[in-house]
């Protein structure tokens, strides 16, 4: 039986998007079947264990239209006979006039393939990310004459033009986003102030072990304090600031850093560490699956993530890895950017410093390395808040109502 819901993703599966995998698994567990339409083929050489548990069928669209010209041509021939084709094409041409990029053209081609190949039983398109997946899902829904909705996150909110956000918000059935700041921004552009629901990703604590009963009391004197950070090596994660902050620590402090994640700034950051004379204290582990991430969180003394707003406006939302660290009672040092303060209150659940200020980050880091008691208090408080306010079930409850309503099953 063909599911009546299509979930449109940038790529699947992706190591950096455990929050999406967690959501998909939860929807399947609630007997809400769907099929996945992916704009890109997977490029990670690893997957998380949860990906193996998701049973949905995955359809891959042509990542680049020239790679499958006959498929695209056949889709165009079929799509142009659908009742919504002309109206959808007018919307796309209007968008293309304002955004004359190959990306915009590619989304139209992918939308035609989706519309042509999708079974008639599919009644709703749900896109993760408002930018490119949102465009493809929207155009395809218009061609097919069905509704669409989206879940927005961070980059897709802050790096697309206002006209595009306004027009997508005007014709979607619903929107959702994972941060209060994002919800307020989008609802300010929407026809009504309740178009977009705030749905925190939260954490499915059932997939995580209980936190360690006790951590070693390392204080950076006799034994090195082990710092860990998990995140892509991209500008918004602020790892250049972390290198500067580590380089400014007092010489007498004993520390080491484990980093997990890949990204385009890998060579640049390693060169920065060499120049600062701290390369021998840093282990770059590259991409790892969630089992290995959890092991690293359990063995470390302090989690660090100096997020900031990148030059192109890209930024984090509420990184799931902060909640993953809290699930293992690992103390957190991060920055007061985007929705991070919605989870971590500075001086209560951890420490937050102003984004883009490595000196302030270094001072807070020095304090947390030296003060085991404070680290423990912060970790306990963050763990309690996670369990009380940031579990996954509440958000999935809201999303399930929205999706079942869109499918006529509310």
Q: Give residue 409's pLDDT.
A: 67
CATH 3.40.50.2000 boundaries in the chain: 5-201+392-406, 206-389
Query: CA-CA distances (angstroms) from residue 214 to 130, 207, 295, 323, 351?
Result: 42, 20, 15, 19, 21
Which of the four pLDDT bands, split at 50, 70 and 90, describes residue 46? confident
CATH of domain 206-389: 3.40.50.2000
* Residue 273 burial (C-beta neighbours within 10 Å; 0-12, 13-18, 19+): buried
The arrangement of secondary structure in 5-201+392-406, i.e. its CATH architecture, is 3-Layer(aba) Sandwich (3.40)
Q: Give residue 43's pLDDT.
A: 86
Give the dihedral of Cα atoms 326, 329, 333, 334; nearest 10 deg. Answer: 0
Which of the four pLDDT bands, split at 50, 70 and 90, describes residue 222? confident
Q: b vs e for 6-25, b when ≥16 Cβ sit within 10 Å of the residue's Cβ?
A: bbbbbbbbbbbbbbbbbbbb
Which of the four pLDDT bands, split at 50, 70 and 90, describes residue 45? confident
Mind listing the pLDDT tens digit for each residue in 332-368? 999 999 999 999 999 999 999 999 999 999 999 999 9
Query: CA-CA distances (angstroms) from residue 225 to 53, 209, 362?
Result: 36, 23, 14
* Residue 391 burial (C-beta neighbours within 10 Å; 0-12, 13-18, 19+): middle
pTM for the predicted model, two decimal places: 0.90
Q: b vs e for 90-118, b when ≥16 Cβ sit within 10 Å of the residue's Cβ?
A: ebbeebeeebeeeebebbbbbbbbbbbbb
Mean pLDDT value of segment 230-252:
97
Identify whether the C-beta of residue 228 lies closer than 8 Å to the C-beta of residue 291. Answer: no
Q: Give residue 16's pLDDT.
A: 87
Mind listing the pLDDT tens digit for each residue in 159-180? 999 999 999 999 999 999 999 9
Q: Give residue 44's pLDDT.
A: 84
d(CA 351, CA 347): 5
Mean pLDDT value of segment 179-194:
96
Mind listing the pLDDT tens digit for each residue in 60-86? 999 999 999 999 999 999 999 999 999
Mean pLDDT across the chain: 96
Q: Give residue 410's pLDDT.
A: 54
Mind listing the pLDDT tens digit for each residue in 47-61? 989 999 999 999 999
């Amino acid at each position: 039986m063909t599911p009546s819901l299509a979930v449109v993703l940038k790529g699947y599966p992706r190591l950096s998007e455990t929050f999406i995998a967690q959501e998909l698994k939860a929807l399947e567990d609630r007997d809400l079947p769907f099929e996945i339409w992916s704009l890109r083929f997977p490029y990670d050489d690893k997957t998380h264990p949860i990906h193996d548990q998701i049973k949905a069928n995955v359809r891959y669209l042509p990542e680049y239209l020239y790679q499958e010209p006959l498929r695209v041509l056949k889709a165009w021939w079929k799509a142009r006979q659908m009742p919504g084709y002309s109206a959808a094409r007018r919307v796309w041409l209007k968008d293309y006039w304002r955004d004359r990029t190959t990306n915009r053209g590619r989304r139209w081609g992918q939308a035609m393939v989706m519309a042509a190949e999708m079974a008639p039983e599919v009644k709703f398109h749900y896109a993760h990310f408002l930018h490119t997946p949102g465009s493809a899902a929207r155009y395809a829904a218009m061609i097919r004459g069905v509704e669409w909705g989206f879940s927005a996150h961070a980059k897709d909110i802050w790096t697309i033009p206002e006209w595009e956000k306004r027009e997508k918000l005007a014709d979607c059935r619903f929107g959702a986003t994972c941060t209060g700041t994002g919800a307020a921004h989008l609802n300010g552009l929407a026809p009504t102030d309740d178009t977009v629901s705030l749905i925190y990703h939260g954490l499915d604590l059932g997939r995580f072990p209980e936190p360690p009963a006790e951590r070693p009391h390392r204080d950076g004197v006799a034994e090195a304090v082990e710092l860990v950070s998990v995140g892509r090596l991209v500008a918004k994660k602020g790892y250049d600031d972390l290198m500067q902050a580590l380089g400014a620590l007092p010489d007498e402090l004993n520390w080491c850093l484990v980093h997990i994640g890949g990204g385009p700034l890998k060579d640049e950051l390693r060169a920065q560490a060499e120049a600062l004379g701290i390369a021998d204290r840093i282990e770059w582990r590259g991409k790892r699956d969630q089992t290995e991430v959890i092991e690293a969180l359990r063995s470390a003394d302090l989690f660090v993530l100096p997020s900031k707003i990148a030059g192109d406006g890209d930024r984090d939302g509420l990184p799931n890895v902060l909640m993953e660290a809290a699930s293992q009672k690992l103390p957190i040092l991060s920055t007061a950017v985007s929705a991070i303060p919605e989870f971590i209150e500075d001086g209560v659940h951890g420490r937050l410093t102003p984004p883009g200020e490595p000196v302030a980050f270094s001072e807070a880091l020095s304090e947390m390395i030296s003060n085991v008691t404070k680290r423990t208090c912060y970790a306990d408080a963050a763990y309690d808040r996670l369990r009380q306010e940031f579990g996954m079930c509440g958000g999935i409850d809201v999303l399930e109502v929205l999706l079942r309503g869109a499918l006529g099953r509310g």
